[in-house]
Structure 1
Amino acid sequence: MGKETPRIEEYLESIYKLQEMKESATTSKIAESLELSPSSVSEMLKQLEQKGFVNYADKGVVLTEEGERAAKKVIRKHRLSERLLTDILGFGWDEVHEEACRLEHDISSEMEEKIEKRLGNPKTCPHGYPIPDKEGLVARDNAVKLSELKAGEKGVIVSVFEENPGMLQYIGSLGLYPEVNIEIKSIAPFGGPILVNVRGEQKSLGKELAEKILVEKKK
């Protein structure tokens, strides 16, 4: 399989990330992620199905084995680019997504390997998501959405959705970074705020925000 066009890569990356966030890759969610019209997305999904990259499911599409392999290639370059931007060039974690989107399509395999070596073979991006290795292998976890935890449950943050700079700035201001321990103190009824203990301080999160944070529950 040869190198895919940047447009195809962006679609595969979007679908992969939705699956990673435990979301269904529906036409509307892909359209929102890529800032495109649903009709444009529907047409492209048909092409991706014809190419053998996706299959239609009950809700949206899922990546085929070939589609996942292609998605991981661009995801790897994207996340290594984000690490380069934060660790070497000093960008904030809320500033790197768009820059990495531009870099990911043009990085050669040789440059990819040099970046990885220079960074000390990082395992995750600045937002906590795993970086696939050269063979496409990804460390699996048992992460769930923070919004799924119950009052009294504890966990450690695994990853934070990275595409909205304003959201990342706010999440950072609350101290909700990867590898930080949290405890659910209380959950207001009817979709109300979730009170979370973060490093000894109580922070209030809306359900929408809590759905953007993946945690691994502690027993």
Structure 2
Amino acid sequence: MPAAGEHHPAFEEYCECIFELREDDLDVIQARIAERLQVSRPAVSEMMKRLEAEGLITSDDGIRLTDTGRKLAESVVRRHRLAERFLTDILKLSWAEAHHEAGKWEHVISDSVETAMIDLLGDPTTCPHGNPIPGSQYVAPDSEPLASVAVGHEFTVRRITEELEFEPGLLEFLEESSIQPGERGTVTASSPDGTLTIEIDGRHVGVGSFASERILVTG
């Protein structure tokens, strides 16, 4: 089957989107794909027909990747997350800059460059946000949303789900607030609207309900 870069980039983008929505346990519906990719619903509907004709998805029981589509998606996601690692760990770009640039790199990284990046980075298992790199054999620890942590309890950040990466300004906020995988914190207060106040890296930070429900932590 063709490697990443041998399909039209739009096919790769759509397969990647479907993969990541499934990864975050979200229903894969055309409206959600349109929102994530910032395209019109008619454009999504037309692309679904093309993807199905290419043998990349099925739509009999909801939108699902075929084996071929999943392999393509995993290849693109792997290269995106490796690129994010390279851009943050080696080039010291911010999370937001790295996420934006990796969206371009994922379509052009060759097999030899991918292998070289893996070697240089020491065979990483997750992207900077804690999302697993396909093919790394990473086993995620049992985790729960930050929103589930009771006031007074400590937590360790494990994963910033992909859904949060597409919220304007949120990656910048999380990085600046040290809400990053491996960081320990404590929930110090909870508001009726679902906003949590946490103490992390010596600072008190307010985290809204949308984010706290999608930041995964362990105790």
How high is the TM-score relative to the length of structure 2? 0.83
- How far did 1:211 drift? 3.2
Residue 207 in structure 1 maps to residue 209 in structure 2: yes
Q: C-alpha deviations, 1:127-157, integer Å up to 9, x for none? A: 2211122xx7443443343234454554321
Match of 1:122 in 2: 124
**More divergent stretch after superposition (176-185 vs 89-98):** 176-185
- How far did 1:178 drift? 0.9
- How far did 1:179 drift? 1.2
Equivalents in 2 of 1:142, 1:73: separation in Å? 25
Equivalents in 1 of 2:86, 2:182: separation in Å? 20
- How far did 1:110 drift? 0.8
User: Alignment partner of 1:36: what SS?
Assistant: coil
Match of 1:27 in 2: 30
In structure 2, what residue type is equivalent to 1:213? Answer: I
Equivalents in 2 of 1:55, 1:138: separation in Å? 27
Aligned 8 A contact 2:125 2:138 in 1: no
Gaps of 5+ in 2: none
Match of 1:193 in 2: 195
Question: For 1:17, which of 9, 15, 20 is the aligned residue?
Answer: 20
**More divergent stretch after superposition (111-120 vs 85-94):** 85-94
- How far did 1:76 drift? 0.9
Equivalents in 1 of 2:145, 2:49: separation in Å? 30
**More divergent stretch after superposition (191-200 vs 22-31):** 191-200
- How far did 1:172 drift? 2.0
In structure 1, what residue type is equivalent to 2:205? Answer: K
**More divergent stretch after superposition (41-50 vs 72-81):** 41-50
- How far did 1:113 drift? 0.3
Question: What does residue range 123-162 of structure 1 map to in structure 2 within 5 Å?
Answer: 123-133=125-135, 137-151=137-151, 154-160=154-160, 161-162=164-165
Match of 1:45 in 2: 48
Q: Judging changes above 3 Å, is the alpha-carbon distance between structure 1 residues 24 and 43 closer, same or farther for their aligned structure 2 residues?
A: same
Aligned 8 A contact 1:94 1:165 in 2: no
Aligned 8 A contact 1:49 1:55 in 2: yes
Equivalents in 1 of 2:58, 2:184: separation in Å? 37
Aligned 8 A contact 1:21 1:214 in 2: no
Aligned 8 A contact 2:125 2:137 in 1: no
In structure 2, what residue type is equivalent to 1:157? Answer: V
Gaps of 5+ in 1: none
Equivalents in 1 of 2:27, 2:60: separation in Å? 9
- How far did 1:88 drift? 1.8
- How far did 1:32 drift? 1.7
Q: Judging changes above 3 Å, is the alpha-carbon distance between structure 1 residues 18 and 81 closer, same or farther for their aligned structure 2 residues?
A: same
In structure 1, what residue type is equivalent to 2:56? Answer: F
Equivalents in 2 of 1:148, 1:24: separation in Å? 22
Q: Judging changes above 3 Å, is the alpha-carbon distance between structure 1 residues 185 and 50 closer, same or farther for their aligned structure 2 residues?
A: farther
User: Alignment partner of 1:95: what SS?
Assistant: helix
Q: Judging changes above 3 Å, is the alpha-carbon distance between structure 1 residues 105 and 61 closer, same or farther for their aligned structure 2 residues?
A: same
Equivalents in 1 of 2:60, 2:196: separation in Å? 32
Identity of aligned residues (%): 36
Aligned 8 A contact 2:185 2:198 in 1: yes
Matched positions, count: 213
Equivalents in 1 of 2:147, 2:60: separation in Å? 25
Residue 36 in structure 1 maps to residue 39 in structure 2: yes
